[in-house]
Structure 1
Amino acid sequence: MLILTAAVNLLVGICIGLTGIAGFLLPMFYTGFMGMPAVEALALSFTAFLVSGVLGSVSYYKNGKLEVAAAAVLSIGSFAGALAGVRINLLIPEEMIKIILYVVVLLSGISILLRKESKEKTARRRNTGKSRSRWIGYLLLGAVTGAVCAASGAGGPVLVMPLLTLMGFPPHTAVGMSLFNSIFIAVPSAAGYLANTDSMDHMAVMLAVIVISHGIGVIFGSRNAVKINQTLLKRIVAAGSIGIACIKLFIV
């Protein structure tokens, strides 16, 4: 199980480094395949998201693909939203949380497949409107997505990244910003769920494996992001997420 966990985190880390998405597959792996309680699954998943957020955003910042000011405002909202999301999760029955998770993954996969990228149009759209209203918009977006991601285990980028591109940010910049934003979702979420797990000795071993394998994957993916056809990879991940979510919601 540890070897399988390491392999899955490595592969998911690569996908996150390349495109910013796929993190939502981790809680599905822990709950659906390994049969873990939702709280433990989310604690492990958000620890991985913290690793990918830190390593990925640093890499994208070095490549000039991270707008720090907008990402910071977004992340302030996400931190507050994540605090609320953890509390919401702990008040809801575990089976309901799994359903919420699979529904979020399904909708995220559909949104990725349907989203059309147009750099010229989105760039013009982002430059319109008052500056103050944009900052408020980023703050509200962060709060809502932070709460949803913390409660469902969806990670962050899979929801935030498509929305940022629709708001006018170039795809690579949207990935960098969403990875940075995921740090501020992961910190309160990982801490909240870890505080409510029953077996910390078992979790400590899993956490060590996850941090190392996921970190290696994210570093590799982020360094090679410009070499990969991101559109194709996003469609593969989106199609896979839709298929898995449908199986979990309607078959299993």
Structure 2
Amino acid sequence: MNDLKQAYRDFVDNKPDLQTVVYYEKLKTYSQLIVDRDSSDPGVAKVMPVAVDKNHVSICKPDSRDDQVFLGLVRHIGVVLAELASTTADGEEQFASIDFSIPSDRDRRELLAKMIDANRENEYSIANEYQNHFAQNYYKLGLMTSARTNHDRILSDVEQRFYTNIYLKLICRGADDSTVQTALQTDVIDPICQKYADIPSLTGLTVLQALYFLTEQCRVRWDAE
């Protein structure tokens, strides 16, 4: 529960215009109050949980269009839609986050084919092991957790650093493997570890695992086009 609340607060922090409405039940379900006021409070500034005469089941199933929860949600959605229409009219852009769990259409070759084409066939076994390890942990995190947010940020940074410092500058210009390996350490692994030093579990190995995961997800290639 705390992890979910933190993830929502992180989400809200990145969207200052987002409005949050919270309801919680006053009636018990099978002699137990499932979600009280404290449990319902997401800890978002200026948000006051609203108590309703419902239990844990009926609160999510409005009895009619005159129901307090139904009316409150309709009013809230109306405000959001009006603001969205105004934002769209003003021509403001919204940037969508990347879903790293979905393979890109950029390069749909299998991991082994990518390693072979880059003359890195000897790395396939460890590359596959690393990407599998990262993927297993990544998919266990769910969609709305602070840990998943951290992983997405790390993946985004690894991809950007690899593309600009390794792929474009070195691989596409025919740099030898020794040069690529040195730059991989100094321009990708070390900066990422330093940036996320507050995450004790993040190591250079984690960055390599993330890099091979990105290769498997068709976001990174090791040979020039």
TM-score, length basis structure 2: 0.30
The structure richer in helix per residue is 1
TM-score, length basis structure 1: 0.28
